[in-house]
Chain A
Amino acid sequence: MSVAIEFKAVSQTFGHVKALDRVSFSVYEGEFFSMLGPSGSGKTTCLRLMAGFEQPSSGSLRLLGRDALGAAPYERDVNTVFQDYALFPHMNVLDNVSYGLLVRKVNKAERHARAHEALAMVALHDHALRTPAQLSGGQRQRVALARALVNRPRILLLDEPLGALDMKLREQMQVELKQLHKKLGITFVYVTHDQGEALSMSDRIAVFNQGRIEQIANPRTLYHQPRTPFVADFVGSANVIDASFAKTLTGAAQAFAVRQENIQIHMSQASVAAGDWKLEGEVMAIQFLGANQRLDVKANGQIISALQSEGEIASRLAADAVHGQRITLSWSPKHMVMLDA
């Protein structure tokens, strides 16, 4: 597998703020690579460096085997789908989509043929003469996608492209993006703060936190074997038990994580299975989520969340429980994921 994008010890500072701190990673050709993290974690800065909107403060950056330092955006075989779509409001859909070909002096007949082809790819061929203002959010999103793809780039950068869409549309677009990626076979680099989005589409995910990469792995590994407390919490909202708390529970000063759905709830300690770890605490909140409900239980000054699937037991608990009621949580040792720090 050849490398499409290579970051080597890349740092980016804005004034006193270190947006990226010696970040190194590679993206392989044809891969669906996601950069996941909270806002301000450096993921968007990485994307902007790939697109050429910014130059790194230090480090080296190679795109498709060529040194990309100093290369302007228009010199890169990379196209971007922007978070706010950035469609040109004074042009219709067709002119927006064929813009990349126009500025590269492709003749009109070919320009329009390829623009129509790109619009057909996103199922918008009958909207060619509308203006961006006449389109819905989802349609604008597709136009932005078609506009970026019409240049046939080898790398497509997507900056939280689904952020402004409602949930149903977002799920539908996730499926379509994945299909498009398979069909085109080019490299997709996808920036998001939504772990569900990253997990459902990516081949590999890099989790960003405070200008550094915490872990790069495929979605299942990231979910089941998070390496750091941050990844455990951010990717699966798992309960992170730090080293000192762990010592009082298990006797070993080794931080670990347990997923919410792997924690059992007991009204009394008697029903805990032999060999399982148990913990007593007070119910602070119960949140009904539909298919299950979440209990926030305070133990040792920390909130532990547990998911309980909906049913008679769950609804009875929700009806009877009072604030601060004592309750027992338990989990099997096999569900404990040991963490680095």
Chain B
Amino acid sequence: MRTLSHFFYRQRTLTLLLMLTPPLLWFGVVYLGSLFNLLIQSVWVFDDMSMSVITEFTNTNFANLLTPANLDILTRTLAMACAVTLGCVLLGFPMAYYMAHFAGPAEKGFFYVAVMLPMWASFIVKAYAWTVLLAQGGVIYWLLNAMGLQFALQAVLALPVVGGDTLATSNLGRFVVFTYIWLPFMVLPIQAAIERVPVTLLLASGDLGARPFQTFRRVLWPLAFPGVVAGSIFTFSLTLGDYIIAQLVGPPGLYIGNMVYTLQGTIGNIPMAAAFTCVPIVLITLYLSLARRLGAFHAY
């Protein structure tokens, strides 16, 4: 054993190589390889007659993305991803701030568990549970009725885009479920970022004459921003890629994920599915470069 330890201690490069090869193989071959394999198919031809893929170059798949029906799917998914991200920031930031700067050790433990607990249950179970909660005759309807607020609910559901026949079939209901399910991914990075902001910086800001909102805008927000971006990468990309919640809750109309699922599963149109898959990749690349320009990856 000792000689083995000595051997690895002296052969630093070899040790490093041994440790890094499995993850690099996994990442490089299995992950990037299959992704590349998928993407290359987006420029191949799908023959409708024979229902088979012909390995010839074409750009029709990408052109097809811009047909009104497909564009509808893209904007629907993108709009929800943006709304969910915004909702998670608005809900998550105050909670993360409280956890980082005010909660005592026991309270912090409680918050950690409370934030993480929903992640212990299966994703599909949670989504189904929400369909029950949001359904007519469900808990939320009952509660609003009991408080005499059904007129408010009807007014909200009557709104275009946001509303629908019932909560369970409205975009609002879908937004609520998405926000609930992705919220932990937003709270934890923001909390970690705020934890690194010394309290004296906030005191110094007030001491220099800044009102609480000015302190938030000029000191806390810029310093917590990298955490917000980290969280939003999760909420944004997870919403863009989801096909389960979009199916279970909310109005009819496909999301990118459903479309990819349908195209490659039922129809076998892998090239078109690959073209759809490119959209989130491009959107997230654009999003990351924007975040980078806003200084989100700058460490202080």
Contacts and interface: CB of A to CB of B under 8 A. Distances in A.
Contacts of A12: none
Interface stretch (B57-65, B209-217, B227-235): B209-217
B208 A79 contact: yes
Nearest to A147: B208
A257 to B, nearest CB: 38
Interface string B255-292: 00000000000000000000000000000000000000
Nearest to B203: A53
B206 A72 contact: yes
Interface string B198-240: 1011011111111100100011001100000000000000000
B interface majority secondary structure: helix
Interface in A36-84: 51-53, 72-74, 78-80, 82-84
B151 interface: no
Contacts of A148: 207-208
B12 to A, nearest CB: 31
B217 to A, nearest CB: 10
A79 B207 contact: yes
A100 B198 contact: no
A73 B206 contact: yes
A102 B215 CA distance: 12
A103 B201 contact: no
A89 B200 contact: no
B300 interface: yes
Contacts of B198: 84, 86
Nearest to A51: B207
B209 A103 contact: yes
Contact of B201 (A72, A79, A83, A88): A88
Contacts of A51: 203, 207
B200 A86 contact: yes
Name the residue among A74, A133, A148 with the largest chain B CB count within 10 angstroms: A74
A103 B295 CA distance: 22
A72 B203 CA distance: 11
B209 A104 contact: yes
Nearest to A53: B203
A133 B207 contact: no
A52 B204 CA distance: 11
A86 to B, nearest CB: 4
B209 A100 contact: yes
Given A84-B198, A99-B218, A89 B300 contact: yes
Interface residues of A, number: 25
A52 B206 CA distance: 9
B300 A73 contact: no
6 contacts: A73-B203, A82-B204, A86-B200, A88-B219, A99-B208, A103-B214
Contact of B211 (A78, A80, A103): A103
A151 B209 contact: yes
Interface string B77-91: 000000000000000
Contacts of A168: none
Contact of A103 (B200, B208, B222): B208
A133 B300 contact: yes
Query: Interface centre among B200, B203, B204, B295, by most A CB within 10 Å?
Result: B204
Q: Which of A72, A103, A133 is the most central at the interface, judged by chain B CB atoms within 10 Å of its CB?
A: A103
A88 B204 CA distance: 9
Contacts of A79: 207-208
B103 to A, nearest CB: 16
Contact of B207 (A73, A88, A90, A104): A73
A90 B223 contact: yes
Interface string A285-300: 0000000000000000
B210 A103 contact: yes
A234 B141 CA distance: 70
Contacts of A151: 208-209
The 8 closest A-B pairs by CB, nearest first: A100-B208, A89-B300, A86-B204, A86-B200, A103-B210, A73-B206, A80-B207, A103-B214
Nearest to B295: A90
Contacts of A133: 300
A79 B208 CA distance: 6
Contacts of B205: 88, 99, 103
Contacts of A90: 222-223, 295, 298, 300
A133 B198 CA distance: 15
Given A73-B206, A86-B203, A88-B204, 4 more contacts: A53-B203, A88-B219, A103-B205, A151-B208
Contacts of A100: 208-209
B228 to A, nearest CB: 14
